[in-house]
Amino acid sequence: MQHSASSKIKLLRFLHSIFTTSERAAEQNCLSLLQLCNSLPKLTQLHARLVKVGLHANPLVLTKFTSVSSDLNAIHYASSVIFSPEATPHYYDTFLFNTVFKAYAETDNFKHSAIHYYSVMLSYGIRPNKYTYPFVLKACAGIADLRLGQTVHGLVVRLGFSYDTHVLNTTVHMYCSCKNGIVFGEKLFDEMPKCEPVCWSVMIGGYVRWGMSREAVSLFRRMQIAGVKPDEFTMVMVLSACTDMGALELGRWVESYMEKEKIEKTSQLCNALIDMYAKCADIDKALRLFRNMSESKRTTVSWTSMIVGMAMHGRGLDAISLFEEMRRAGVAPDDVAFIGLLNACRHSALVKEGKRYFDSMINDFGIVPRIEHYGCMVDLLSRAGQVKEAMEFVHRMPIEPNPVIWRTLITACRVQGELNLGERMTKDLIANEPMHESNYVLLSNIYAKMLNWEMKTTVREVMGKKGISKVPGSTMIELDDGIYEFVAGDKSHSQYKKTYDMVDEMEKEMKRAGYVTKTTEVLLDIDEEDKEGALNRHSEKLAIAFALLKTPRGTTIRIVKNLRVCADCHSATKFISKIYNREIVVRDRNRFHHFKDGLCSCKDFW
């Protein structure tokens, strides 16, 4: 009997070991098969097999299944399996949920799903761990939901994960991604240990995101003083700040700093450099960098940066050749590349080419046009004087036109003299978007063209009564001793007296040369008698006057405006370039204007 019992146990052990070994072998087999799945059909096939061999409820296999499905841009497939009505929660674990969060946190437009499944996780009583929160916070950052982020942050503190540096850094990132959240980000940043570059990069990036580029640069200086070595992420953020401000000299310094510090030139960092040079007016340097980039590093982003750069400089044909070269190189253009290309056609009035590429985008590349693509086309047709075609185009659009498109059409109506139509469209627009300043400006301009001064005045009064806020025009200029910013009518500057004297002198010289003020461009809330004075205080005129005072004769003046340059300033700058014999390079919200000898590179088309 004794002998028999012991044999039985041995037999059981033997059978058990065979069973687990074979299950483990099957598991391993599935994991390696999953690793090889590089298409959705292969994955669905394998899934069928998992069900057949009974591994569909194995947590490890399911986790791998999830990450593979996410890599194939099919996370919905995995979650439909994991969270199907037949699914049983006994195989749910933290690891599996984290993989789901990661997938959704990294997918655009599905950050909400990460939050949703996070609450599902909690409802099943599955405990989050320190890997959970970077994903959940990233999702909060993606939807810029400050209150949700604060709730999650509170939980992080209560669960004791707030000492983990990854969690901390992502929390700062979350705050820096929400409106009004940046102060919380700053506070957390100030309190946390800062010996690694990651948190510095996050905070610098937060400043750049909100247009606080000077704060970004000064934080970078603090980082250097603190003795923390910047990495390639940090340098990308600092270059973004330079790009935003049009600070070419600072950008050049950053490039030499990178070389001195031997910071690895990743693809992203090269792209950031190319973008910086293109947007800081040195498009040829951008092109040289692009040409020197190894083929393997040249991504769609690199090509797009160059195409966008050419577009902004009004070099539409160069943008088109780059696009064709990109195709030949076998790099797939995406929706953003096409926005760049269509913009290039727009800024160079290449109507035929624009139409052809728009159709090609849909038919040859299978890209579904976004509202921005339609916007490009509407603008392209309108500026070519084809208002009817533009209207028809808008009516044929499968998506609802946005205010940007309406404003484009309305401007075209005004230019082409379709004033009644323009008035009606503007009124509809104001009914939908009553707090948007430029809608009132459009209406006022239409009344001005109708010579209906009474209605124009009424519009101005309504604006004042409703308290419509204006985006203040500002102009930046980089000189040897730093970066200066001017706003319209600015008197805060230490040398403003000299600057205003110079503006007056410029005015006299321009009038002598035949310049006439274009008063229709004046801001609406300024008294009639002060129209001319107000135009002279537009920020770009202040910046140019300041530059004429502070820079040596004959040197090029480069300025950056946050809005589009107005017709009066455009005309004035042409005169100034001739009178003072200076090349003046203006970057406005849309593109570059190179003024030289009384002419502009945009050929007055912008």
Where do contacts with DNA occur on this chain (CB under 7 A)?
A: 63, 67, 94-95, 98-99, 102, 129-132, 134, 138, 164-167, 169-170, 173, 196-199, 201-202, 205, 231-234, 236-237, 240, 243, 266-269, 271-272, 275, 299-302, 304-305, 308, 334-337, 339-340, 343, 371-372, 375, 402, 404
Closer Cβ to DNA, 141 or 572, answer by number:
141
Collect all residues with Cβ–Cβ distance below 8 Å to 499 and sequence separation of at least 6. 493, 542, 545, 546, 549
Taking the C-alpha atoms of residue 525 and residue 467, their distance in angstroms, rounded to an integer, is: 11
Closer Cβ to DNA, 231 or 282, answer by number:
231
Q: How far is the CB of 339 from DNA (least distance, A)?
A: 5
Return the H-helix or E-strand segment holding 545. helix 539-550
Closer Cβ to DNA, 129 or 556, answer by number:
129
Taking the C-alpha atoms of residue 424 and residue 427, their distance in angstroms, rounded to an integer, is: 5
484: helix, strand or coil: strand
According to DSSP, residue 39 is labeled S
**605, 564 contact by CB (below 8 A):** no
Closer Cβ to DNA, 173 or 582, answer by number:
173
Return the H-helix or E-strand segment holding 380. helix 371-383
Q: Which residues of 87-121 are buried (b: 16+ CB within 10 A; e: fewer)?
A: eeeebbbebbbbbbbbbbbbbeebbebbbebbebb
Q: How far is the CB of 268 from DNA (least distance, A)?
A: 4
Closer Cβ to DNA, 535 or 565, answer by number:
565
Task: Residue 308: name the closest of 239, 383, 243 by CA.
Answer: 243
What six digits make up the tokens of 576?
């100034």
Q: How far is the CB of 591 from DNA (least distance, A)?
A: 10
71: helix, strand or coil: helix
Q: How far is the CB of 164 from DNA (least distance, A)?
A: 6
Closer Cβ to DNA, 236 or 413, answer by number:
236
Taking the C-alpha atoms of residue 491 and residue 499, their distance in angstroms, rounded to an integer, is: 10
Closer Cβ to DNA, 43 or 62, answer by number:
62
Q: How far is the CB of 559 from DNA (least distance, A)?
A: 18
588: helix, strand or coil: coil
Query: What is the chain's Cα-based Rg?
Result: 30
Closer Cβ to DNA, 293 or 547, answer by number:
293
Taking the C-alpha atoms of residue 151 and residue 228, their distance in angstroms, rounded to an integer, is: 31
Q: How far is the CB of 16 from DNA (least distance, A)?
A: 27
Q: How far is the CB of 403 from DNA (least distance, A)?
A: 9
Collect all residues with Cβ–Cβ distance below 8 Å to 504 and sequence separation of at least 6. 536
Collect all residues with Cβ–Cβ distance below 8 Å to 35 and sequence separation of at least 6. 64, 68
Q: How far is the CB of 359 from DNA (least distance, A)?
A: 19
Closer Cβ to DNA, 43 or 542, answer by number:
43
Taking the C-alpha atoms of residue 75 and residue 69, their distance in angstroms, rounded to an integer, is: 5
Q: How far is the CB of 434 from DNA (least distance, A)?
A: 17
Closer Cβ to DNA, 172 or 524, answer by number:
172
Q: How far is the CB of 430 from DNA (least distance, A)?
A: 17
**How many Å from the N-terminal Cα to the C-terminal Cα in the chain?**
100
